[in-house]
Amino acid sequence: MTELHLHLDGSLRPETVWELAKIQGIDLGAKDIDELKFMMKVPDDCKTLHECLERFDVPLKVLQTADAIERVTFELVEDLSNIGVDYAEIRFAPQLSTEKGLSQDEIVEAAIKGAKRGMEKYPNIKCGLILCCMRNENIEDKNLQTIETAKKYMGDVVCAVDLAGAESLYPTEMFENVFKKANEYNLLRTIHAGEAAGPDSIRKALSYGTKRLGHGVNAIFDKELMEELIDKGVTLEVCVTSNYQTKVVDSIDKHPVKKLFDAGVRVTVNSDNMTVSDTNIHKEIKILKEQLGFTDADIEKMQKYAEEARFIK
């Protein structure tokens, strides 16, 4: 089983977050583990992408030390291995863990260490790390630092860069310089686009040279763009539960993933956030089969697309 789109901070064990908060002397505002679990999960009536993104505030509070980052990366590799994933690309934004003075290099080193420890203990799984730049204002320096860090550690578990965050507030075109630098360094990349914004955002992402898109589902509104995705062999990392929660679609059965797949777009199935969205690759596949009309053969084809698009061969 291959998982291409999974956020580290959205996939932490609540028990670990609880324990880390204790170790670090941080008040998370939860009276017990059940309340913490509730705070780390998207509520059923979540209204906007922004409200969903707030679920990441809690985990990030405890992800400000090297020990914590090493531990949660190890644990995620362990959790993935335990559910039968044999290849996973885990992504996170190093710039969000610098609040207590860690450098992006130190943060990435900690994650590499955790991933390696996981792969040593569970040799049946291979993992890569994708470093996310963030959509925000006045953070070009931080994003460029992420690119430098990616260049430094590329090939040592680190396999690519990404752009994540609030797409409707900070359009893809704001990040021209960041991807210019990524091009200069020949870094592999994927870009979150066509999730909270439309085809223009996807076109801009493609102009940055990406062969993979996080979500990309709003391509469904533009036939020409869909043709372009097919011609260029662009792979879409689709996360159905997450798209429903962030209101990309009103209901699961209205999700365009089957239409994209039937049209010939290279669609893959992914979790996005195992804890925040309370899902995993098996649950996502079940939804595709039970609610969206995918056959076993379709699922197999999607897994093949995922294998062909993975950053570490």
Q: Which residues are catalytic?
A: 195
| CB crowding 96-126: b at 16 or more within 10 Å, else e | bbbeeebebebbbbbbbbbbbbbbeebeebb
Q: Closer CB to Zn ion, residue 70 or residue 272? A: 272
Euclidean distance between CA atoms 266 and 98, whole angstroms: 36
In the complex, minimum distance from the CB of residue 54 to Zn ion, in angstroms, rounded to a whole number: 15
215 and 238 Cβ atoms separated by less than 8 Å: yes
Please choose, out of 33-41, 130-138, 271-279, 294-302, the segment that lies near Zn ion by the rule CB under 5 A.
271-279
Q: Closer CB to Zn ion, residue 28 or residue 281? A: 281
Please choose, out of 15-23, 100-108, 224-232, 265-273, the segment that lies near Zn ion by the rule CB under 5 A.
265-273
Q: Closer CB to Zn ion, residue 75 or residue 272? A: 272
Beta bridge partners of 89: 128
In the complex, minimum distance from the CB of residue 5 to Zn ion, in angstroms, rounded to a whole number: 6
Beta bridge partners of 255: none
Euclidean distance between CA atoms 132 and 130, whole angstroms: 6
Q: Closer CB to Zn ion, residue 214 or residue 256? A: 214
Q: Closer CB to Zn ion, residue 30 or residue 178? A: 178
In the complex, minimum distance from the CB of residue 243 to Zn ion, in angstroms, rounded to a whole number: 10
Polymer length of the chain:
313
Size of the site for Zn ion (CB under 5 A): 2
Rounded alpha-carbon distances, angstroms, from residue 182 to 45, 116, 149, 161, 229:
38, 25, 11, 8, 21
Please choose, out of 14-22, 65-73, 137-145, 207-215, the segment that lies near Zn ion by the rule CB under 5 A.
207-215
- Residue of 167, 213, 217 lying closest to 189 (CA atoms): 213
In the complex, minimum distance from the CB of residue 219 to Zn ion, in angstroms, rounded to a whole number: 16
Mark 214-253 with x for binding to Zn ion (rule: CB under 5 A) and - for no binding: x---------------------------------------
Euclidean distance between CA atoms 178 and 64, whole angstroms: 24
Token pair for residue 91? Answer: 């992504």
Please choose, out of 15-23, 134-142, 149-157, 212-220, the segment that lies near Zn ion by the rule CB under 5 A.
212-220
In the complex, minimum distance from the CB of residue 11 to Zn ion, in angstroms, rounded to a whole number: 11
The footprint of Zn ion (CB under 5 A) covers 214, 272
